[in-house]
Chain A
Amino acid sequence: NAGVTQTPKFRVLKTGQSMTLLCAQDMNHEYMYWYRQDPGMGLRLIHYSVGEGTTAKGEVPDGYNVSRLKKQNFLLGLESAAPSQTSVYFCASSYGYEQYFGPGTRLTVT
């Protein structure tokens, strides 16, 4: 059991570039989440999904899009990266309230 995996682990983008972060889970969880973590800000929810084919906005959704085409995968997209999106991004999945996190993706936008 790999749990929750995220790719890539690190990425540097120039302002205006686009990219997709991939999250995969092998626990057959219905719910999946994307967070960003900034110094002193804790974890903030970007988007989440309550099942295959569904997505919903979280606390800080602007500038991001998501898709959940398969139950095990949850993709986070940045269409036009901005320096304010420099952060560490975490994916999580859950069956109920207990969420299990991936190792994170460190993104720098210059």
Chain B
Amino acid sequence: GQQLNQSPQSMFIQEGEDVSMNCTSSSIFNTWLWYKQDPGEGPVLLIALYKAGELTSNGRLTAQFGITRKDSFLNISASIPSDVGIYFCAGPPEGAQKLVFGQGTRLTINP
């Protein structure tokens, strides 16, 4: 089936640094979603993107829908300890009412 590849798989940064991660697909997606999962909890939706080239912000988080429709990017500015967690990208295969998820990017922050 379709797969989404997230990069990097893990990140170790200092508090206050900016973070960039991306998600790529071999096929076109018309919607990109970004989720965050805290330890022991369910994923929480951060940002939804519906248009190629779209740039959307949610506080210190900014996500972009790649113009090729085969990738998406998530940036976090001025990281803080509560940003720790696993970030997942997701998107619906064409014509399907379901999502495929990337394998996640695990973010660790050193105080």
Contacts and interface: CB of A to CB of B under 8 A. Distances in A.
Contact of B98 (A33, A42, A100): A33
B42 A102 contact: yes
Interface range for A: 20 to 34
Nearest to B30: A97
B33 interface: yes
Interface string A71-110: 0000000000000000000101000011111111000000
Given A97-B31, A103-B41, A43 B88 contact: yes
Interface residues of B, number: 21
Interface in A1-59: 4, 31, 33, 40-43, 45, 48, 50, 58-59
Interface of B is mostly: loop
Nearest to B102: A42
Contacts of B92: 97
Contacts of A41: 103
Interface of A is mostly: strand
Contacts, number: 47
A36 to B, nearest CB: 12
B35 to A, nearest CB: 8
Contacts of A99: 33, 45, 90, 99
A11 B77 CA distance: 39
Contacts of A50: 97
A103 B33 contact: no
Interface string B42-63: 1111001000000000000000
B95 to A, nearest CB: 12
Given A41-B103, A45-B98, A58-B98, A100 B41 contact: no
Given A101-B42, A103-B42, 16 more contacts: A31-B97, A41-B103, A42-B88, A42-B101, A42-B104, A43-B101, A58-B98, A97-B31, A97-B33, A97-B92, A98-B45, A99-B33, A99-B45, A99-B99, A103-B41, A104-B42
Interface of B: 1, 31, 33, 35, 40-45, 48, 88, 90, 92, 97-99, 101-104
